[in-house]
Amino acid sequence: MIVTARDKGLVCCQSCARVWPIDQPHCGACGTRLRSRDQMSLQRVWAWWIAGVLAYIPANLYPMLHTRTLLHSSEDTIIAGAFEIAAHGSIIVAGIILGASVIIPLCKFFAIAYLALAVTRGAHWPARRQFVLYEVVEFIGRWSMIDVFVVAILCSVVQLSVAASIAPGVAALAFACSVIFTMLSAQSFDPRLIWDRIETPPTKDAT
C-alpha cells in the first residue's frame, strides 16, 4: 500500500523531491514554492488550453509559406503544404509534417481536456493509464515546433532573388503561439491529482 506525503502531513518539493512539513511555504533545500496539491492547477490548464485552441484555428486557415519561383507563386497552409509534399513523392516527410502539426496538436487538445475532466469528474481509465497519457503529452508537445523551425529554415535559406524565394505567413506565428500555449497548459497540470482519485473507488457510468 502506497503512503503519500500528504497522508503523513508532509509536502513534497516538485523539483528536488525533498519532503517538508505541510505548512512550510518554500522548500528548504532548493527554494521552490511548495504546494501539496496545486489548487489553481486546473484553472490555469483550462485558460492556456482555450488560448491554444483559439490560436490553432488561424494557424490552419492562413498560409504558412509564400513560395515564389520563376514560373509561379503559391501560398500554402499547413495541410495543403503537406499534401503537396506527398504529391512530390515524399510520403514519409508529409507524414512527419501532418503528424507534428495536425495530429499531435489535436490529440494534445483532447488528451489535456480528458485529463482535466477525469480529475474533476472521474474517468473510466485507471490512474496509471492516465498518468502515461500525461507523460506522453508532456514529452511530445515540444515536437510540434518542428513546423515553425521548418518555416524559419526555408525562409532564411531560399533567398535566390528571382529564381526562388520563400517568405513566412501569418499562420507561422499563430501556430507557434498555439504550441507554446498548449505546452503551458500541460505544464500547469498537477499530475498528483490523477493519483488522488485512487483512494476513492473509480466512478463508472451505468451504461
Partner 1 sequence: MTPPQNFDLKSLIACPKCDALYRVGPVEKGDQAKCLRCRTVLYARRRDAGLIIISTALASTILVIAALFLPFIEISRLGFKNGSTLIDAALAFYGGPLFVLSLAVIGSIIALPLTRLFLTLYTLTPLVLNRPAWPGAKRAFRLSETLRPWSMAEIFLVGCAVSLIKLTDLARVELGPAFWMFVSVILLMAIQNSFMCRWSVWKALER
Report the residue from 46, 143, 181, 197 that binds partner 1 according to the rule CB under 8 A.
143
Residue 160 touches partner 1, criterion: CB under 8 A:
yes
Residues between 63 and 82 that touch partner 1 (CB under 8 A) = 69-70
CA dist., res. 38 & res. 202, Å (int): 22
Q: Which is nearer to partner 1, 200 or 207 (CB)?
A: 200
Shortest distance in whole angstroms from residue 31 CB to partner 1: 6
Residue 35 touches partner 1, criterion: CB under 8 A:
no
Residue 159 touches partner 1, criterion: CB under 8 A:
yes
Report the residue from 41, 118, 183, 188 that binds partner 1 according to the rule CB under 8 A.
183
Residue from 56, 48, 142 nearest 100 by CA? 142
CA dist., res. 143 & res. 204, Å (int): 35
**At a CB cut-off of 8 Å and minimum separation 6, what does 64 contact?**
76, 77, 78, 81, 147, 151, 168, 169, 171, 172, 175
Beta partners for residue 75, in sequence order: 66
Residue 83 touches partner 1, criterion: CB under 8 A:
no
Report the residue from 157, 199, 200, 207 that binds partner 1 according to the rule CB under 8 A.
157
Helix-helix angle 91-98:146-157, to 10 degrees: 120
Residues between 43 and 62 that touch partner 1 (CB under 8 A) = none
